[in-house]
């Protein structure tokens, strides 16, 4: 239960008592009506903006979402959420496409498209923003590819130079060695032939050696040229492949600039969307506020809520809390289910809670709150994950399952008892996952470092005992987990089968 807070009425100065779950509250002195965001919106937006500049994007996202929970059409909150999900510090980052190099453009684009559907009046603004983010994402994706390829080409140039230099050094060394050998051999031949009085043989032998020397040099030069041509051809091929990402980068930049030129001409008035959209006295089905149930139960104190048809408010006679009548008409179940299907669990849970204010034993609302606690779309999605579970989530699931059994009608009590058993097994099963993971990691550590550990004096027996103990503990938990899994699978079949029957009972068919 949220704590009641006191604020002064901006019209008469009277004390206003309300909590954060109220959509509308009224001043008991002058009759002035206000919404939650009248007092907190500016503070939340300013704080979120500061978080963006400090790059505390997760916190900023939560603050913007708080504003959107109260008013899904708030322009500044929608735009801020785009920045937060995209890890973009401010709108100034859109001045140049290079500024978005570290942004999560894909997530931001998705959020922008969602904002487009929420605030249709400014759909063009968010559509252009989504196009800019899409172009920026493509640009930086190809930019990374281009940098990688450029580095490959530079590396090949260095290898080419290394080959050229090394080949030339080896060739020079070979020339010197062969030249020295040729000179020595020529002198020896000359001395021998002169000693025998013969000159022509020495001249012919020296000529042959020179011809061999020049032939080797020519062959070496030809081989070097062929090798260098091959290396150069590879580099040229790589350079041609760079043209593809460069062309794509230029195309993305042009698309970004085109969208930005039109985007900067738009300047929506955020004040027009700072307040929730007014609700007509009649719903789409023509149901008037006067036809609503006159008395409801306050979820905060259990007191009676009375309908004020003129103000379209439900007011608590005990704690002074007031709720907008729009929360209780225009198919509240349909809105709650829609929020659940889109994984807006907080919004769905709130609407299911309002349904229980009308009827504390409402089957769909009791089941819906359990599904919201476990973040399941319906009973078919209740499945074992082996990922662990947080204490808060487990406590919420257990508490709501217990409340469902306590408040459900007689014909649905057995069904919710099965749901309670199923969710309890689920929580117990998920609690085992961290222990299994811990023991598995220890065994893997022992396996990797076994030779090193056993090298220490007396460590071999200690390692064996500890490894055996961990294996036994892990085996016990695995057996326990398999037992829970078997019980879960068996019970879930019954729950899913009975879900349809329970809904038929709920409809009185």
Within 10 angstroms of residue 489's Cβ, the number of other Cβ atoms is 12
For the segment 118-154, what is each residue's pLDDT rounded down to a tens digit? 888 899 999 999 999 999 888 877 765 444 444 555 5
Q: What is the structure's pLDDT at 97?
A: 87
Per-residue pLDDT band for 4 (boundaries 50, 70, 90) equals very low
Domain segments of the chain as ranges: 138-253, 334-507
State the burial class of residue 469 (Cβ atoms within 10 Å of its Cβ: 0-12, 13-18, 19+): exposed
Average pLDDT for 336-349: 86
Q: What is the structure's pLDDT at 211?
A: 65
Average pLDDT for 331-335: 78
Give the pairing type, strands 304-308 and 33-35: unpaired
Q: What is the structure's pLDDT at 111?
A: 93
- The residues, any chain, with a CB within 8 Å of residue 333's CB and separated by 6 or more, are 355, 364, 365
Average pLDDT for 286-314: 61
For the segment 145-187, what is each residue's pLDDT rounded down to a tens digit? 444 444 555 555 555 555 555 555 555 655 555 566 566 656 6
Q: What is the structure's pLDDT at 204?
A: 62
Kindly state the tokens that stand for 508: 């009185």
Per-residue pLDDT band for 85 (boundaries 50, 70, 90) equals very high
Give the pairing type, strands 313-316 and 304-308: antiparallel
Q: What is the structure's pLDDT at 421?
A: 94
For the segment 461-475, what is each residue's pLDDT rounded down to a tens digit? 777 788 888 889 889
For the segment 31-72, what is each residue's pLDDT rounded down to a tens digit? 555 555 455 678 788 888 999 988 889 888 988 998 888 788
- The residues, any chain, with a CB within 8 Å of residue 181's CB and separated by 6 or more, are none
Range of weakest confidence among 120-129, 189-198, 337-346, 407-416: 189-198
Q: Return the top range by mean pLDDT from 199-213, 235-249, 338-352, 392-406.
A: 392-406
What are residue 53's phi and psi, to 5 degrees?
Answer: -65, -30
| Distance separating alpha carbons of residues 98 and 113, to the nearest angstrom | 22
Range of weakest confidence among 205-214, 300-309, 439-448: 205-214
The answer to whether residue 327 scores a pLDDT higher than 70 is no
Q: What is the structure's pLDDT at 280?
A: 43
SS (H, E, C) 318-349: CCCCEEEHHHHCCCHHHHHHHHHHCCCHHHHH
Per-residue pLDDT band for 403 (boundaries 50, 70, 90) equals very high
Q: Return the top range by mean pLDDT from 27-36, 219-228, 484-493.
A: 484-493
Select the more confidently predicted residue: 91 or 241.
91
| Distance separating alpha carbons of residues 401 and 399, to the nearest angstrom | 6
Q: Return the top range by mean pLDDT from 163-167, 173-177, 230-234, 305-309.
A: 305-309
Dihedral in degrees, nearest 10, Cα atoms 226, 232, 237, 240 = -150
Kindly state the tokens that stand for 201: 């043989």
Average pLDDT for 308-321: 66
Choose among 402, 415, 401: nearest CA to 491: 415
Average pLDDT for 390-406: 92
| Distance separating alpha carbons of residues 201 and 204, to the nearest angstrom | 5
Within 10 angstroms of residue 180's Cβ, the number of other Cβ atoms is 10
Give the pairing type, strands 15-18 and 322-324: unpaired
State the burial class of residue 436 (Cβ atoms within 10 Å of its Cβ: 0-12, 13-18, 19+): middle
Average pLDDT for 273-286: 53
* CB distance 267 to 69 below 8 Å: no
- What's this model's pTM, rounded to 2 decimal places? 0.45
Q: What percent of the chain has pLDDT over 90?
A: 20
| Distance separating alpha carbons of residues 247 and 151, to the nearest angstrom | 18
Q: What is the structure's pLDDT at 32?
A: 56
The β-bridge partners of 265 are: none
Q: How far is CA 8 from the centre of its chain?
A: 41
Select the more confidently predicted residue: 176 or 303.
303
Tell me what the pLDDT averaged over the chain comes to.
75
């Amino acid at each position: 239960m949220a704590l009641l807070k006191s604020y002064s009425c901006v019209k008469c100065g009277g004390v206003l008592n309300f909590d954060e779950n109220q959509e509308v509250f009224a001043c008991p002195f002058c009759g002035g009506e206000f919404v939650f965001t009248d007092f907190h919106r500016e503070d939340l937006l300013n704080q979120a903006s500061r978080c963006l500049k400090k790059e505390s994007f997760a916190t900023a996202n939560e603050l913007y979402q708080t504003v959107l929970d109260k008013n899904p059409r708030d322009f500044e909150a929608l735009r801020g959420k785009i920045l937060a999900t995209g890890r973009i510090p401010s709108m100034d980052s859109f001045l140049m496409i290079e500024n978005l190099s570290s942004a999560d453009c894909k997530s931001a684009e998705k959020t922008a498209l969602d904002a487009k559907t929420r605030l249709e009046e400014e759909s063009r603004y968010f559509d252009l923003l989504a196009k800019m983010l899409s172009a920026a994402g493509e640009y930086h994706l190809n930019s990374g590819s281009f940098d990688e390829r450029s580095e490959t080409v530079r590396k090949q140039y260095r290898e080419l130079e290394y080959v050229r230099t090394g080949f030339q050094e080896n060739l020079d060394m070979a020339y010197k060695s062969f030249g020295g050998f040729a000179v020595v051999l020529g002198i020896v031949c000359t001395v021998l032939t002169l000693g025998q009085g013969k000159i022509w043989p020495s001249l012919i032998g020296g000529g042959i050696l020179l011809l061999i020397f020049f032939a080797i040099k020519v062959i070496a030069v030809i081989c070097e040229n062929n090798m260098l041509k091959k290396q150069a051809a590879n580099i040229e091929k790589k350079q041609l492949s760079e043209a593809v990402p460069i062309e794509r980068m230029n195309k993305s930049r042009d698309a970004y600039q085109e969208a930005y030129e039109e985007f900067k001409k738009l300047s929506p008035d955020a004040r027009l969307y700072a307040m929730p959209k007014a609700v007509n006295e009649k719903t789409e089905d023509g149901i008037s506020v006067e036809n609503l149930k006159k008395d409801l139960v306050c979820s905060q104190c259990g007191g009676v809520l009375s309908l004020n048809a003129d103000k379209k408010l439900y007011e608590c006679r005990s704690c002074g809390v007031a709720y907008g009548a729009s929360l209780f008409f225009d198919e509240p179940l349909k809105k709650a289910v829609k929020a659940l299907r889109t994984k807006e669990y907080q919004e769905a849970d709130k609407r299911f809670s309002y349904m229980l204010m009308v009827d504390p034993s409402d089957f769909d609302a009791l089941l819906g709150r359990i599904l919201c606690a476990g973040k399941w779309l319906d009973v078919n999605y209740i499945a074992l994950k082996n990922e662990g579970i947080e204490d808060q989530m487990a406590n919420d699931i257990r508490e709501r399952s217990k409340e469902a059994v306590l408040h459900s009608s007689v014909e649905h009590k057995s069904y919710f008892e099965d749901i309670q058993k199923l969710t309890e097994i689920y929580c117990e099963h998920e609690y085992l996952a961290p222990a299994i993971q811990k023991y598995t990691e220890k065994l893997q550590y022992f396996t990797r470092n076994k030779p090193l550990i056993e090298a220490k004096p007396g460590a071999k027996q200690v390692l064996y005992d500890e490894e055996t103990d961990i294996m036994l503990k892990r085996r016990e938990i695995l057996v326990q987990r398999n037992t829970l899994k078997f019980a879960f699978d068996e019970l879930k079949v019954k729950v899913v089968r009975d879900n349809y029957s329970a809904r038929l009972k709920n409809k009185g068919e």
